[in-house]
Chains A and B, each alone.
Chain A
Amino acid sequence: MQYTLLILVLPLLSFIVLGLVDSKWKPKVAGTIGTIVLGIITALSYYTAFEYFTLHKVAGVYEKVIVYDMEWLRFTDALHINLGILLDPISVMMLVVISTISFMVNIYSLSYMDGEKGFQRYYAFLSLFTFSMLGLVVATNIFQMYIFWELVGVSSFLLIGFYYTKPSAVAAAKKAFIVTRFADLFFLIGILILSFYTKTFDFTILTAEHTTVFAGTTGITFMGFSVLSWAMAGIFIGGAGKSAMFPLQIWLPDAMEGPTPVSALIHAATMVVAGVFLVARFFPVYYFQTPEVLHGIAYVGAFTALFAAVIACVQTDIKRVLAFSTISQIAFMMVALGVSGYEGHEGTGYMASMFHLFTHAMFKALLFLGAGSVIHAVHSNEIKDMGGLRKYLPITNWTFLIACLAIAGIPPFSGFFSKDEILSASYEFSPFIGGLMTFVAALTAFYMFRLYYSIFWGKDYTIKASSHGHDDHGAGHTPHESPFAMAFPLIFLAAVTCVAGFIPFGEFVSSTGADYHIHINLTVAIVSVVVASISILIATMMYRKQSTTPDKLAKIFSGLYKGASNRFYIDEVYMFITKNIVFNNISRPIAWFDRHVIDATMDGFANTTQWVSLRIKGFQSGQLQQYAYVFLFGTLLIAVLLFIF
């Protein structure tokens, strides 16, 4: 399977070429090249998946295949960093997901980004992102993963800040980068602790079932927890940063400043699930060595899911609603991993998490692309500017509806199957988490249909007077359905969403690699479907026609409403902590010390030197004749002295 290297090399080449030629080529050429490369990668990924799942099954278990493993940096015998390609069920699954979504987004962007300044740059960054994300999932060791992890962060930064002339986009890009970077610090610390005690970075060694590499950590504790717990918690914090778990979720809603296809690719389907992927990758370590951290993950996930779902109910920017929905859904995956056991039926959670990752990627990308299509049509992100669009955007309407049904968990759409598995795994772990998850699922159905009805139903779309004179596509004309390049990804993803639930996912991906047959827990399924349906019904009553019920409800729960629409003031808390506590009490004194002690010492050297040189610079006047005088006097003096003595 040597050709898998191409999957990594091609997007990198595409990035370099597109990045170098920049505006030398016509936008269409650059876009076409980027898209064709992505098409090839997608084909290769599918072929890899096909070959892997048909050929590499040994005794009923999918084995880990290391296609490449070359030493990149060697410091000592123990400390060396390898780069390679590791194929196992989850990485192959991720290859398929990433390349598919990326391909769709590339096609979509051809039309969506048409005429934007920096179109070529956009495609170069897309390629960079695809490259780093693919490199991340096939990493053979933690360090390679960390390298690509940071590359993913950088490309996310670049893409969020794509409209770099817009201050809000720049701020959002900075915020995303700093928050994830802050989390990555813990990731790095975790990696260092872990590898310090285990003497290896290698995933295959670390996650082997009966491994002895953790023998060195027994008995070593720090503040009541074993060092291994600290390491794994650090690694999880890294993942939580990328996956926007509470309290590190603050960057994701702001990241919606980026172009909508980017939100679909990075902030819905691929990058944000990197944290889930990370936990899944380390799952055996979490499960066997540090179960307390795994349970912590479950609780963090459950809280985040609820928290984000509540906020999503009141947001008015459609992309932000989707962003909070993403946070909530990723939290679902985290919960599933947290509650999972290891083998057989116990391992439902793990499988469900990966399954949900797969289905969520498809329908969330679909939702974002649909939102992009709506934004393309009405040129606004705000719900109040929309309503009654179903007549104008039939394709978007139908695909959006399918995605909403999928995320709400209505059979036979894919979301139902994966969410049901998560719910049943949660109930088995603890009824409390199970109940909470069911409630969140109900909220999900509610806010998604609130969004759906607000966009496509409700009041009739009123064509505004042309207030945006600068924009020839602006308001003042009838919204129209998107061109084919945008409609095709919608239709394709909708089709995938319809059928993905019937994939016998457990046969491909499970915690041990062995087959696992999905069986739907009827009680859980019926309960969740009923709850979701009721939520949808409520949403239908409230938002299908214009009504005053939502406002009345908002008045009744005014405290909750206000808190939720301000995202529970988490951003303000962050601002308070960073500005008032960190800046004033730590950074200021450090800055003072730096300026008045360290810099002053250096300035002192400089000033002394300057003072001395001012005194002696008269010798270097640049006047030729003055030099001649000095020379002549000197010569005469020496000659006379020699003559006398």
Chain B
Amino acid sequence: MSELFSNFFSGSIPMEAYLGISLIMFFAGVYGFLTRKSLLMILISIELMLNAADINFVTFNRYLYPERLEGFYFTLFTIAIAACETAVAIAIIINIYRNLNSVEVGNLDQMKE
């Protein structure tokens, strides 16, 4: 039993493990995006998905092209953009809250007309 554990822990970490984590994180985000009503929850889900993408970039960069840094920089810029996006999105959400007194996505269907 302990041998099994030691084997499991002593081998190096495969790339699929990282990808698997990011996959779970991403689909958790998708699930949240589809089920939650609050705009803030939707934003949280989006952050999850973005983060999952970041992990993928970094992982591919590190495992497949260790001599270069494209994935690294891409992630860096993505974090910056995520910050922008969150700031604007929250500004919009606060404005919506002021006007409609709610942040439920179901109320925001005026644009269809």
Contact = CB atoms under 8 A, between A and B. Distances in A.
| Touch between chains A and B, by CB atoms below 8 Å | yes
Contacts of A624: 42, 105, 108
A621 B105 contact: no
A632 B109 contact: no
Q: How large is the interface on B (under 10, 10 to 19, 20 to 34, 35 or more residues)?
A: 10 to 19
A632 B45 CA distance: 15
B98 interface: no
B40 to A, nearest CB: 14
Interface string A609-645: 0000000000011111100110010000000000000
A622 to B, nearest CB: 3
Contact of A622 (B33, B34, B109): B109
B109 A628 contact: no
Contacts of A623: 105-106, 109
Question: For chain B, what secondary structure do more than half of its interface residues adopt (helix, strand, loop), or is it mixed?
Answer: helix
B111 A625 contact: no
Contact of B105 (A620, A625, A629, A632): A625
B34 A621 contact: no
B110 interface: yes
B1 to A, nearest CB: 39
B112 interface: yes
Contacts of A621: 109, 112
A625 B34 CA distance: 6
Contacts of B108: 622, 624
Contacts of B112: 620-622
Interface in B23-51: 30, 33-34, 42
Contact of B110 (A620, A622, A625): A622
Contacts of B42: 624
Contacts of B109: 621-623
Interface in B55-113: 105-106, 108-112
A629 B110 contact: no
A628 B33 contact: yes
B89 to A, nearest CB: 13
A463 to B, nearest CB: 68
A632 B34 CA distance: 10
Nearest to A629: B34
Interface string B5-22: 000000000000000000
A622 B107 CA distance: 9
A622 B109 CA distance: 4
Contacts of A629: 34
A234 B77 CA distance: 82
A620 B110 CA distance: 11
A623 B111 CA distance: 10
A534 B110 CA distance: 86
Contacts of A620: 112
A622 B111 contact: yes
Nearest to A617: B112
Nearest to B39: A624
A623 B34 CA distance: 11
B39 to A, nearest CB: 9
A624 B112 CA distance: 11
A17 to B, nearest CB: 45
B43 to A, nearest CB: 12
A622 B108 CA distance: 7
A623 B33 CA distance: 12
Interface string A347-363: 00000000000000000
Nearest to B36: A625
Nearest to B113: A622
Nearest to B37: A625
Nearest to A632: B30
A625 B107 CA distance: 12
A632 B30 CA distance: 9
Contacts of B106: 623
Contacts of B30: 632
B34 A628 contact: yes
A582 B105 CA distance: 61
Interface string A565-606: 000000000000000000000000000000000000000000
Nearest to A622: B109
B84 to A, nearest CB: 20
12 contacts: A620-B112, A621-B109, A621-B112, A622-B110, A623-B106, A623-B109, A624-B42, A624-B105, A628-B33, A628-B34, A629-B34, A632-B30
The 4 closest A-B CB pairs, nearest first, are A622-B109, A622-B112, A620-B112, A624-B105
Given A624-B42, A632-B34, 16 more contacts: A621-B109, A621-B112, A622-B108, A622-B109, A622-B110, A622-B111, A622-B112, A623-B106, A623-B109, A624-B108, A625-B33, A625-B34, A625-B105, A628-B34, A629-B34, A632-B30
Interface of B: 30, 33-34, 42, 105-106, 108-112
